[in-house]
Amino acid sequence: MQSLHTEIIIEAPPERIWAVLSDFESYPEWNPTIRSIEGVLSEGERLIVVIKQPGRKPMTFRPLVLDAVPGFLFRWRGRLFIPWLFDGEHEFRLEILDDERTRFIHREKFTGILVPFMRRMIENDTREGFEKMNHALKERCERNIPASPTPDPA
C-alpha cells in the first residue's frame, strides 16, 4: 500500500467548497487534473472520471462512490482493469477551521500488485496533479468573496 496526502487552507466555508466540488459540469473550467466527472454524487453510484496527470495521457475510469456527505466528505474507489492490480481509494475531506476557513484534504490510498512499480509516478506526477487541483480549487472558491468592510476613520 502507498498513500498520498495533500492539503490546503481555503478562505471559504465548507458549503462553498462543496458546491464547487459537487458541480461536475464545471470541472473542465477550473480543474487541471480531474478534467471531467459524469454521474450522480451518491453512495453506491458509479461515476465516469477523466483524469489528466502532468506529463501523462488522460485516463478514464469508473469509480464507485463510497461516501458523499455534503459539506464534509467525497470518497470513491477506482481500479485499473481488475481488482488488486492497481486500486485507488480517493478522498476529498473538508475540515472547518472557523466561519470562513476550511482545510481541504485531498488524499488517496493505493493498493495492488502494481503499486511498487508505480511509486515514482505516484510521488511525482500524481502528487503534482493533486497540488495543482488543490490550488485551482482554492482560487475558484476564494474568487468573488466580498471584501472586508473598511474601518470608518472616525
Q: Is residue 121 part of a domain?
A: no
Q: 38: domain CATH number?
A: 3.30.530.20
Number of domains in the chain: 1
Name the pairing type of β-strands 59-61 and 48-51: antiparallel
Q: Is residue 132 part of a domain?
A: no
User: For residue 119, what pLDDT is reported?
Assistant: 87
Has residue 82 been placed in a domain?
A: yes
Q: Is residue 145 part of a domain?
A: no
Q: What is the pLDDT of residue 83?
A: 79
Whether 50 is covered by a domain: the verdict is yes
Note the pLDDT of residue 24.
97
The answer to whether the predicted template modeling score (pTM) of the entire model surpasses 0.95 is no
Lowest-confidence segment of 89-98, 130-139, 145-154 by average pLDDT: 145-154
Residues 86/80, Cβ–Cβ less than 8 Å: yes
Residue spans of alpha helices (H) in the chain: 14-21, 27-30, 115-121, 127-142
Higher confidence at residue 101 or residue 53? Answer: 101
Q: What pLDDT, in 10s, does the model give residues 9-56? A: 999 999 999 999 999 999 999 999 999 999 999 999 999 999 998 778
CA 41 to chain centre: 13
Q: Is residue 153 part of a domain?
A: no
- Measured CA distances, 72 to 1, 58, 112 (Å): 25, 28, 28
Instruction: Print the domain residue range for 104.
Output: 2-115
Q: Is residue 8 part of a domain?
A: yes
